Structure 1
Amino acid sequence: MRVHNTGNHTKMNQKGFSLIELSLALIIIGLLATPFLYQYNTYTNRRVKEQTSLSQMTIARAVSDFVDANGRYPCPTPYTRDEDATDHGREFCPPAIPVPGTCNGGICRATGRDANAAGGPDPVLIGAVPYASLNIPYEMALDGWKRKITYAVSERMANGSITPFDDTQGAISIVESDGDNLAPNAIVGSQPYLLVSHGDNGAGAYSTSGVLVAPCPAAVNGRERENCDNDADFETPGLDATGAGLRTLVAGAQYSDDVVYYDVSGLNGLWSYSAINNEDIRNNNLGYVGVGTPDPMVEFDVGGDIKAGTTHTIRYCDANGANCFTPDIIAGAGISCDGTSTEAMPGIANNAALCDLALPPGIITGPPCPNNQLANAVIGGQLQCVPYP
């Protein structure tokens, strides 16, 4: 006996996307995502560069504070120190090892110019930023790619052997990509220190764990190699007409993605520490110095007001250089009349104290002014009192 199923059959439509439809969908998604990916990549690159610049400026300020407090530059910390090392980020001023031209223990010693004219090259130490000795966060010792920033310093300026401190004794040479030598104080190769971020590819940089990210390029990549070959010569991309850095990311001998920071204030050579007192500075400019004015007319010309707790000067004059008086007129023993009670000094005029006879007895009949007030007139024998200004 045959049994027939008389129930209804439902036909299921399981049709999916065809390859053509899927391809069109991917193309549309790609077209929509391309602008977003471009903007995201631009944003990421900008953030990396901004962080690198922030780190280098933070380090530079900390180095300046260190010099002010210690009378020398800090030594570098070893490249190869891991984050868990007890001396991580501490400066290390090495003894005789490594010898010039070699590296040892994460610090390299290069040979720079003969800064002290002693008949031999002065050494340069190269390592990582000693953030702990500079009292800055560890993150500020890293560039935007989270790699250690290279710190090179003239060794004699870091080991305290220069007394009194002289900021012209640097032994590091910086050359722009166009061949110009950046010479502070008009002395070639006299940069005290500099900072290098090894850029996008990290050639010559060390990771946070103290491992080399990528080896220093071969000699054919001259510009890229100059900042990681552990000598005392460095190269900065320089600036174009708009002030932008001339970074070149095209493979070859001209490739340069490094970000080099050097102390601009040291390069202008306008000021240096006094050889007599290390807390004083002197002006090295042969011409005039202007503050707030592009055209100074005297040795130190300030276009505006100066706020200072103390000043040392021989005389004070008006804007025309006339009507001068000496400081003792208004300070010290000079601010007096005859030294008796018969005269009072209501002011200063004609380069001298202005003295008037004191009031005869009986002119003032009223009470004195209360505390925190002063008299500015007498009317009918009564003092007219006003609050202190």
Structure 2
Amino acid sequence: MNANHRLPRSNSGFTLTELAVVLVIVALLLGGLLAPLSAQIDVRNTSDTRRALGEIREALLGFAAANGRLPCPAPASTASGANGAGIDPLVGTTLVACPSESGVLPWATLGVAETDAWGHRYTYRVSAAFAQALPSGSKAAFQLSTQGTLDVYSAATGGAVVATGVPAVVVSHGANGFGAFTSDGVQLWVGDSNDEAENQLTGGGFAMANTTFVSRTRTPRFDDEVAWISPGVLFNRMITAGKLP
């Protein structure tokens, strides 16, 4: 056989143009799949956090029924595992008032999760009169006539009143986490939403700019989840527990 007589070689490879077209198609398909998946994860996290807030509300009411007061906020800047992390500062001390009315939820004292579904701590503020140490011989730190100092609105400016005279408020800072504290005791960027700013801690986590909060429908710039203890529900739970009147 003539060595120069060879069978034609078939070209089974792809050109660069064909590869580019395939990559574009794959990217489009993945993008179409990832967007709904991201939305599903956000919906699930929101649902899980709302359920957790319901459990937190019950834990706060249970604490009040057992101890005659609401718990004090835990220090926001204390990292998990450090001394005092997630602990009500009044527990086991001789203090008669909360060192601060603002901080994070005392998760360890209440026996609830430290963070929401996005891994951020819950901001917690309490009206001081509802979190005092019990006077000698008293079953509760407050009376039926005690007024809360916290209010909830539908917007930071010009919003309608949602709740007034509230004893305590708990905030999840949502998926964006703006203003939330992490388990390391570090506050995330506060963002640029006035409505979300109403729900955020100031002063290194020991204060808040005012006594008002915002609870509203979610938007691209607002995704906080806000829960509160209403006076009527708290008083009814205390009466049932024999702490009031």
Counterpart in the other structure of 1:89: 86
Q: Give me the whole-angstrom Cα distance separating, in 1, the residues matched to 2:33 and 2:54.
A: 31
- Verify: 1:195 aligned to 2:170, yes or no: yes
Counterpart in the other structure of 1:68: 65
Q: Which amino acid aligns with 1:153?
A: V
Cα 1:42–1:210, aligned 2, differ >3 Å: closer, same or farther? same
Counterpart in the other structure of 2:120: 147
Cα 1:14–1:175, aligned 2, differ >3 Å: closer, same or farther? same
Structure 2's unaligned 5+ residue stretches are: 203-207
- The structure richer in helix per residue is 2
Q: Which amino acid aligns with 1:144?
A: A
The alpha-carbon deviation at position 281 of structure 1 amounts to 6.4
Counterpart in the other structure of 2:196: 224
Which residue of 152, 166, 170 maps to 2:143? 166
The alpha-carbon deviation at position 49 of structure 1 amounts to 0.5
Contact persistence 1:227–1:233 (CA under 8 A): no
Counterpart in the other structure of 2:205: none
SS in 1 for 2:65: helix
Cα 1:66–1:272, aligned 2, differ >3 Å: closer, same or farther? closer
The alpha-carbon deviation at position 30 of structure 1 amounts to 3.0
SS in 2 for 1:182: strand
- Verify: 1:182 aligned to 2:188, yes or no: no
Cα 1:126–1:10, aligned 2, differ >3 Å: closer, same or farther? farther
The alpha-carbon deviation at position 261 of structure 1 amounts to 0.8
Q: Which amino acid aligns with 2:172?
A: S
The alpha-carbon deviation at position 27 of structure 1 amounts to 2.9
SS in 2 for 1:57: helix
Counterpart in the other structure of 1:26: 23
Pick the structure with greater CA Rg: 1
Structure 1's unaligned 5+ residue stretches are: 1-5, 99-106, 110-124, 239-245, 250-254, 283-389
Cα 1:31–1:54, aligned 2, differ >3 Å: closer, same or farther? same
- Verify: 1:38 aligned to 2:35, yes or no: yes
SS in 2 for 1:67: helix
Q: Give me the whole-angstrom Cα distance separating, in 2, the residues matched to 1:46 and 1:159.
A: 38
Q: Give me the whole-angstrom Cα distance separating, in 1, the residues matched to 2:114 and 2:20.
A: 47
Counterpart in the other structure of 1:248: 219
Contact persistence 1:248–1:256 (CA under 8 A): yes
Q: Among the aligned pairs, what percent are the same residue? A: 27
- Verify: 1:128 aligned to 2:104, yes or no: yes
Cα 1:11–1:84, aligned 2, differ >3 Å: closer, same or farther? farther
Counterpart in the other structure of 1:334: none
The alpha-carbon deviation at position 237 of structure 1 amounts to 3.3
Q: Number of aligned residue pairs: give it.
A: 228
Contact persistence 1:55–1:142 (CA under 8 A): no
Q: Give me the whole-angstrom Cα distance separating, in 2, the residues matched to 1:9 and 1:97.
A: 96
Contact persistence 1:207–1:213 (CA under 8 A): yes
Q: Give me the whole-angstrom Cα distance separating, in 1, the residues matched to 2:152 and 2:25.
A: 50
Residues 111-139 of structure 1 show CA distances to partners (whole Å, capped at 9, x for unaligned) of xxxxxxxxxxxxxx111111121123xxx
Residues 273-300 of structure 1 show CA distances to partners (whole Å, capped at 9, x for unaligned) of 56xx971768xxxxxxxxxxxxxxxxxx
TM-score (norm 1): 0.51
Contact persistence 2:149–2:167 (CA under 8 A): yes
Q: Which amino acid aligns with 1:29?
A: V
- Verify: 1:55 aligned to 2:62, yes or no: no
The alpha-carbon deviation at position 84 of structure 1 amounts to 2.1
The alpha-carbon deviation at position 236 of structure 1 amounts to 2.8
Residues 320-344 of structure 1 show CA distances to partners (whole Å, capped at 9, x for unaligned) of xxxxxxxxxxxxxxxxxxxxxxxxx
- The structure richer in strand per residue is 1
Q: Give me the whole-angstrom Cα distance separating, in 2, the residues matched to 1:10 and 1:72.
A: 93
Q: Give me the whole-angstrom Cα distance separating, in 2, the residues matched to 1:72 and 1:280.
A: 10
The alpha-carbon deviation at position 201 of structure 1 amounts to 2.0
SS in 1 for 2:63: helix
Q: Give me the whole-angstrom Cα distance separating, in 2, the residues matched to 1:260 and 1:131.
A: 17
- Verify: 1:235 aligned to 2:232, yes or no: no
Counterpart in the other structure of 1:77: 74
Q: Name which structure has the greater RCO, CA cutoff 8 Å, separation 6+.
A: 2
SS in 1 for 2:185: coil
The alpha-carbon deviation at position 25 of structure 1 amounts to 0.9
Which residue of 202, 208, 216 maps to 2:183? 208
Task: After TM superposition, list the pairs within 5 Å mapping 1:338-353 onto structure 2.
Answer: none
Contact persistence 2:150–2:211 (CA under 8 A): yes
Q: Give me the whole-angstrom Cα distance separating, in 1, the residues matched to 2:30 and 2:162.
A: 45
Cα 1:153–1:97, aligned 2, differ >3 Å: closer, same or farther? closer
